[in-house]
Amino acid sequence: MSQPPRFNVHAIRAIYRFEMARTFRTVWQSIVSPVISTSLYFIVFGSAIGSRMTEIDGVPYGAFIVPGLIMLSLFTQSTMNASFGIYFPKFTGTIYELLSAPVSFIEIVIAYVGAAATKSILLGLIILATAAMFVPLQILHPVWMITFLVMTALTFSLLGFIIGIWANGFEQLQFIPMLVITPLTFLGGTFYSINMLPPLWQKIALFNPVVYLISGFRWSFYGTADVDVGISLAAILVFFSVCLAGVGWIFKTGYRLKN
């Protein structure tokens, strides 16, 4: 009988702890700055627009935007943490020492993606606690809230891992998070419900994958969603599988690693 694969737990722990230690060495940039930025979004949009728009789907506007703001932070921070985490060893050349060590690619992915997801989840929970000081929040489905939070963090950390290997410079490292993910998030219902859009734009918005993630996460809070929660869950599972397959292909072919 074949033996099940055994993971090098010591290697996973070492890489994971190194990445987490880097976060706490730069706590202002990694934790404080994103929380302040998100709080400013909350204050500006909640105060300026909330004074004119009292409720959306029976939810006060200030509370309505909280899930979207958490997702906005989760998307960008998961991607940037994971991409920088794997790009920096490439930049310094230490990636070859890692690849020649008795560590499988699965263990490398678990360590780097796990650390990036942990940072993002921690940041999301801090933002949630911060928002609770400004508006009354309710979480109708806490288990599903955690599920969406963890799955989204893992998926975008995998995406960031792919970007970090693909990038040949710091400019490319910032390209997708800033010029693709952030605009899609703003257009994906972060600050509004897509049901408020004209019929044509509602149909166009459904081609934005971020809509399904924000909608599902908001449903876990208030029980209201722009799309069926089952579709949202299926979407995040599909995105996760695609990113996982992409990472597997990179290590199988050695794309931008062997040269």
Of 229 and 251, which is predicted with more confidence?
229
Q: What does the alpha-carbon distance between residue 115 and residue 198 come to, in Å, rounded to a whole number? A: 41
Confidence of residue 245 (pLDDT cuts 50, 70, 90): very high
Which residue carries 């490292």 as its tokens?
173
pTM of the model: 0.91
> Would the pLDDT of 11 be above 70?
yes
The DSSP secondary structure of 207-257, one letter per residue, reads: T-HHHHHHHHHHHHHHS--SS-HHHHHHHHHHHHHHHHHHHHHHHHHTTTT
Look over the chain and give the mean of its residue pLDDT values, rounded to a whole number.
88
- Rg of the Cα atoms in the chain: 19
Q: What is the dihedral of CA 103, 105, 106, 109, to 10 degrees?
A: 100
Confidence of residue 143 (pLDDT cuts 50, 70, 90): very high
Contacts of 20 (CB under 8 A, 6+ apart): 115, 118, 119
List Cβ neighbours of 13 (8 Å cut-off, separation of 6 or more): 111
- Predicted confidence (pLDDT) per residue in 16-33, tens digit: 999 898 877 777 777 788
Residue with the bigger pLDDT between 5 and 222: it is: 222
Q: Which residue has the tokens 């050695």?
A: 254
Contact 256/166 with Cβ under 8 angstroms?
A: yes
- Neighbouring CB atoms inside 10 A of 140's CB total 12
- 3-state DSSP assignment of residue 198: coil
Look at the alpha carbons of 195, 53, 47, 128 in this order and tell me if their dihedral is positive or negative: negative
H helices of 49-198, in order, are 61-92, 95-100, 105-132, 142-166, 170-176, 182-186
Show me where the domains of the chain are located.
Answer: 9-253
Calculate mean pLDDT across residues 183-199. 90
Q: Count of alpha carbons within 13 Å of 240, Cβ hemisphere only?
A: 18
* pLDDT over 90 (residue 152): yes
